[in-house]
A and B are shown apart, each in its own frame.
Chain A
Amino acid sequence: MESLGMLAEGFQGALTPMNLLWVLVGCLLGTAVGVLPGLGSSMAVALLLPMTFALDPTAAFIMFAGVYFGGLFGDSTMGILMNTPGQGSAIASTFEGHKMALNGRAPQALATAAIGAFIGGMTASIVVVFLAPKLAELSALFGPQEFFALALFAFVATSSVVSDSAIKGLASLVIGLAIATIGIDAMSGVERFTLGAPQIFDGISLVTVTVAILALGEVLQVASRIKRDRDGKQVDASGRPFLKAHELKEAAPAWARGTAIGLPFGVIPVGGSEVPTFMAYDVERRLDRRRHDPQFGKGAIRGLAAPEAAGNATTGTAMGALLALGLPVSSTAAIMLAAFQQYGLQPGPLLFERAPDLVWALLASFFVAMVVLLILNLPFAPLWSKLLLIPKPYLYAGITVFCGLGVYATSGRIFDLLLLLGLSLLGFLMRRYDVPLAPLMIGMVLGPLAESSLRDALLSSGGDWSVLVTGPIPLVLYGVLLIIIALTVRSKVVNRTARDV
């Protein structure tokens, strides 16, 4: 039980007063941004990414963990009360959750969501503690062709599985990969696509791209529609947010099933927790149909409990995959990877050897964050919805100023501010025409790894392409990829044809 000993040390690192404060700050900020309609956890992390300059790595990552999970909690609060999920992963919860709220069971719905998220996240954190070191050992054996297979897996899965249109997903991916090629080529030292501008010899900063695509682009999109779309109506959520015994009994199996569905998806790069939340919802709906009084469509507690647990379970194991393999499976995880790179750390097998203090304190802070979030969200969810009283013009003005501050703070250059503006217009266009953004982020983050491992593999084999499918690990990865694509195509068809209204 080596892991337990390391985890105990991690708790010692995470439970210092300063680090506890950072967890709390992260949870508060994450929930706050998640609660604001339309804003998701990836925007919270994007806005905070530049702030890392002021913190030491451990404190920064502990805060990020709080923001990451807090955003998920906050997202579902608003999804339930207003039917405005801020992120794809909260959509499945809104179907039954919002109906529960409309039927006057809003406090119960919020409690079901919060407890489900807690169970999913806790279970995932425990799994990560035992699994991540094993994964890290396994990935230490990886050579260039294995890494290329892994990157290709992530690319294809995120861009074709998550988005409605595979072509749009792949287009987004190619844009991200292209941005990542700008700058001096690491292998040959050749200057690429810089037009001789010294500002981009080192490539385009990931911070600038992240803030532009996920934060400022979002503000532009909101502004372009804010006077034209109807405001959502918020359901009153006052009342005791505690579940009765029969409700707990009803929800418990759904929480367990949701967690079980969500856990494996953290290590499978299909673009985050959207797919598992829909799968969990779908499983509950099928089970419900066999009962003599089907609840779905009327605000079924199970239809909310399962996707919430699945979403957070996926998010938890996704962090494990990021730490152990260096593989981000969602755009939020991609930003976390960017944050590691800001500190000169490379997630993956070596991280566990080189920075064990950081890794274990971070894992311990997951547990702390879950408890803090349960406390913040279970009794106080109605209070959070008071955040909607901030006038929208000032809210978005504040976010825009923070985007400018963050990018200027990390780069110190006017050039990056202009780049930020240009890229945010790209982000706006992509949102306007429903082009998914996650593939762009993942392409940008993993592009260099994909290119260098592809070229390494081909150099060592003397240009023989068959090297890419040599060895058991790449073959297994490509096989699993095919299975996943087949399964999602099938489940998409099913989801489209049968959704309870």
Chain B
Amino acid sequence: MSPSSTNNAPEHSGHPPAVRVPEADGPVAVGEPRTSQTPERSGFMAGRSGLVVPLVLAGISTYLVYGIVTMSVPEDTEFPGPRFYPLLLAVAGYVLALLLVLEIVRKPSPPDESNSLGVYRFHSDWTALAWLVGGFLVFSVGLEFLGWIIAAALLFWCVARGVGSRRPLFDISLALVVSSLIYLAFAVGLGLNLPSGLLGGL
């Protein structure tokens, strides 16, 4: 799996994420559907956003093919060399991607199931996902500079907010308590090497 083929996944999931998603924050938004607008289920992509799966699969196969072509293999390698098995996988990936496309084009998925609290423009809550993914990105990149306590608290806070917590100030203190406890248990207690970052100089 290449980083490039996973990263392009959300961009291709059919729709831009920002449009008409119910607000994740605000005092009354949790669980409140916007029923006033009926989502249009027309157009070719309706119910066919699952096409992103064969796209990812074909992307992986393409990455394999690129790797096979650019691989530097010693001249005297006997059959089957290091290229042989990935080539089988790449071919299988293309065939399966094609079959998946056929399946999705023939049978688009039905509109949201009845268990839903309302009718939404998208199946997934992209605002919530953005909080989670963004939070994790900041955590990963900032971990060594900010230190475990601050970075992990930030991650905790972002996820809690994304999943629907409505008490941002309380969450900050809870997040700091959780990240500090983990630091004490794992870095001080078990001797694990967690970065102290900004707070390290104090």
Chain A interfacial positions (CB closer than 8 Å to B): 53-54, 165, 167-168, 170-171, 174-175, 177-179, 181-182, 185, 187-188, 190-193, 195, 204, 216, 219-220, 222-230, 391-394, 396-398, 400-401, 404-405, 408-409, 412, 414, 417-423, 425-426, 428-430, 432-433, 435, 451, 454-455, 458-459, 463
Contacts and interface: CB of A to CB of B under 8 A. Distances in A.
B155 A400 contact: yes
Contacts of A459: 78-80
A426 B6 contact: yes
A401 B6 contact: no
Given A193-B2, A229-B117, A401-B156, A393 B163 contact: yes
Contact of A401 (B24, B80, B152): B152
Given A171-B53, A393-B163, A178 B93 contact: yes
14 contacts: A53-B192, A174-B93, A182-B1, A226-B163, A228-B120, A392-B163, A400-B132, A400-B156, A401-B155, A417-B140, A422-B6, A426-B1, A426-B9, A459-B79
B97 interface: yes
Interface in B115-135: 115-118, 120, 123-126, 128-129, 131-133, 135
A433 B67 CA distance: 28
Contacts of B192: 53-54, 409
Interface string B135-158: 111011101100000001001110
A227 B30 CA distance: 6
Interface of B: 1-3, 6-7, 9-10, 13, 22, 24, 29-31, 33, 50, 52-54, 56-57, 60-61, 63-64, 67, 71-74, 77-82, 84-86, 89, 92-93, 96-97, 99-100, 103, 115-118, 120, 123-126, 128-129, 131-133, 135-137, 139-141, 143-144, 152, 155-157, 159-165, 171, 174-175, 178-179, 182, 186, 190, 192-194
Contacts of B10: 425
Contact of A429 (B56, B64, B125): B56
A329 B117 CA distance: 37
B193 A412 contact: yes
A398 B71 contact: no
B81 A188 contact: yes
Given A220-B129, A404-B139, A432 B123 contact: yes
A54 B190 CA distance: 7
A347 B85 CA distance: 24
A391 B13 CA distance: 30
A408 B187 CA distance: 12
Contact of A227 (B1, B7, B125, B156): B125
A391 B156 contact: no
B3 A192 contact: no
B193 to A, nearest CB: 6
A178 B140 contact: no
Given A229-B115, A401-B179, 8 more contacts: A174-B93, A175-B57, A188-B74, A220-B132, A223-B162, A396-B159, A417-B140, A429-B56
Contact of B140 (A188, A193, A227, A418): A418
Nearest to A454: B85
B202 to A, nearest CB: 22
Contacts of A422: 1, 3, 6-7
B182 A414 contact: no
Contacts of B50: 433
Given A171-B53, A394-B174, A404 B155 contact: yes
Nearest to A182: B1
B93 A414 contact: no
Contacts of A168: 53, 100
Nearest to A435: B53
A188 B115 contact: no
B27 to A, nearest CB: 14
A405 B186 contact: yes
Nearest to A457: B80
B197 to A, nearest CB: 12
Given A401-B155, A421-B133, A167 B96 contact: yes
A232 to B, nearest CB: 10
A229 B116 contact: yes
A179 B9 contact: no
B28 to A, nearest CB: 12
B165 A393 contact: yes
Given A178-B93, A190-B82, A417-B143, A405 B163 contact: no
A164 to B, nearest CB: 12
Contacts of B131: 223
Contacts of B100: 167-168, 171
Given A171-B96, A178-B89, A228-B117, A404 B136 contact: yes
Question: Which 5 A-B pairs give the minimum distances between C-beta atoms?
Answer: A393-B165, A417-B140, A422-B6, A224-B124, A397-B159
Contact of B52 (A420, A433, A455): A433
A419 B165 contact: no
Nearest to B91: A174
Given A167-B100, A195-B2, A227 B82 contact: no
Nearest to B122: A224
